[in-house]
Structure 1
Amino acid sequence: MTESFRGFFDEIDAPSRSLVVVNRSEPEPVRNLLDSLLEDQSVAIRERDLPDADTDIVLLVEDGEVIARSTLDELLESVLLINSDLYKTGAIDLNEVTLPDVLSGLDEVPFRLRGYPHSNKEKLLLIVVSRVIERIAAEAGGGTLRASFQRLSRLQDERGTREVYETLGNSGVDVHVYGVGDADPGVSLPVTVHEGRSSPYRRSWFVVFNPPPGADAARSVALVALEDEPNVWDGFWTFRPKLVDRIDRHIATTL
């Protein structure tokens, strides 16, 4: 039985995966954006020119096998050219949030991501994955979603975040939110509030969706990140139903 969030890091597969940019025609700054997103991570990025292949394709490779592919345009539109403020203000609608296949395929790869001022891009990956999980839950219209915010006032201060959780609660999802109780979002949102001041409330970032019984288990998904030092996060996401269920039960029984 895992006694802390850190214990789940010992259970992930941590596969060795890399990205290959094929026949790049986009200018060097585009490649630099991709590098900045995954800077200092275990995911290597390289380029290849291949005859008879399309241009500006990104491949996700594991053990010499291509397991996912996306276009550079897809990465640009969904992550690389996006500013995190667009999510906070609600400029990006929930049903418009996507995660390209090559990034989705980095599940169970451990990341160490830095927020501003250390990096303008790295932490964005966790934001996009969080929104994708919330979109999956809203589309399911049931099940349980648990999410931490460190400070519960974010659900009031960030219009985009508030709108997402209003949508989730009204869609039939059983929504539980966790954080330091500097505000009570339960007054205005259809969510169950869990307040605390211990480390899991202050220094964890999780978004966990468990589909309703009888639903497609493949919709199970969890993001777990821990703030190891100020604004520096160790994290991973997983689509493994049994692991998602164990993370969900850990939160439900310990927080």
Structure 2
Amino acid sequence: MAESLRSFFDELEAPDRHLVLLNRSSPDPVRNLFDSLLDGQPVSISEADTDEVADDDVIALVEDGEVIARSPLDEPLESVLLINSDLYKTGGIDLDEVALPAVFEGLDEVPFRIRGYPASNKENLLLIIISRVIERIAAEHARGTLRASFQRLSRIDDERGTRSVYERVAGTGVDVHVYGVGDVESLSGLPVTVHSGTSYPYRRSWFVVFTPPEGGDGDHVALLALEDEPNVWDGFWTFRPKLVTRIEQYIAEEV
């Protein structure tokens, strides 16, 4: 058994990956959006012109000199960089529409250090979108277990889009557990299991973890972030089944 949620960071494979903008024809402000998203992160971004890619404005994810994923530049722009995070809180983006470009999905197990608003308008957006992607995956499976923390349970009611998502996911048959500080009774109308406490994991963790039924096939995916400084988060996401399962088991037994 892991000693703490923080100990899972020690198990990361932490691959050395970087992004490359290929044949960029888009204006400099587009490049600046990527720079602002990745500023201070262990993922660099560079540019190259190449005849190996027929189209302009392609972004590639590279590991050990090999391209492991690529996306048209429009995909990260439309799904991440040009999105206002309030759209997720208000329900302006339907759960079925939430998508993560392959080049960002491929940053799994890369440890990020994220500043929230107002220090940064963009850095925590990746974690918000990853959270929604996991919730969408859970809804699509319509079975399995989803565990999510909110720091303040009241956020579920305060954010109309968030409550709608959890009503939908729980309504599919997924066993949904939510964690946070606050009034359990305020969520009595939501078909989820509510866990309330005041210890560190309840106050300072941000996790969204989905596991399919034991013995069943399906996606395993987890986001785990910890706030060790005010409004500053260390976080990662992973699709590794054994690691996701161990995170889920730790939360179920220790939180």
TM value normalised by structure 2: 0.97
**Structure 1 residues 66-103: Cα deviation after superposition (integer angstroms, max 9, x where no partner):** 10011110001100000110000000000000000000
What's the counterpart of residue 101 of structure 2? Answer: 100
What's the counterpart of residue 251 of structure 1? Answer: 251
What's the counterpart of residue 91 of structure 2? Answer: 90
What's the counterpart of residue 134 of structure 2? Answer: 133
1:164 is aligned with what amino acid?
Answer: V
Percent identity, please: 71
1:22 is aligned with what amino acid?
Answer: L
What's the counterpart of residue 157 of structure 1? Answer: 158
Shift of residue 117, structure 1, vs aligned partner: 1.2
**Structure 1 residues 140-186: Cα deviation after superposition (integer angstroms, max 9, x where no partner):** 00000000000000110100000000001101000000000145353
Q: 1:153 to 1:244 in 2, by over 3 A?
A: same
Counterpart CA distance in 2 for 1:182 and 1:211 is: 29
Counterpart CA distance in 2 for 1:136 and 1:215 is: 15
What's the counterpart of residue 174 of structure 2? Answer: 173
Shift of residue 51, structure 1, vs aligned partner: 2.4
Counterpart CA distance in 2 for 1:4 and 1:70 is: 36
What's the counterpart of residue 56 of structure 1? Answer: 57
Q: Does 2:115 correspond to 1:114? A: yes
Counterpart CA distance in 1 for 2:167 and 2:3 is: 32
What's the counterpart of residue 45 of structure 1? Answer: 45
Counterpart CA distance in 1 for 2:130 and 2:216 is: 21
Counterpart CA distance in 1 for 2:37 and 2:62 is: 18
Shift of residue 216, structure 1, vs aligned partner: 2.4
What is the root-mean-square deviation in Å for CA atoms of aligned residues? 1.0
Q: Is the 8 A contact 1:186 1:192 kept in 2?
A: no
Q: Does 2:205 correspond to 1:204? A: yes
Counterpart CA distance in 2 for 1:153 and 1:183 is: 9
Instruction: Give unpaired runs (5+ residues) of structure 2.
Output: none
What's the counterpart of residue 185 of structure 2? Answer: 184
Counterpart CA distance in 2 for 1:207 and 1:230 is: 20
TM value normalised by structure 1: 0.97
Q: Is the 8 A contact 1:153 1:184 kept in 2?
A: no
What's the counterpart of residue 226 of structure 2? Answer: 226
Counterpart CA distance in 2 for 1:214 and 1:28 is: 49
What's the counterpart of residue 23 of structure 1? Answer: 23
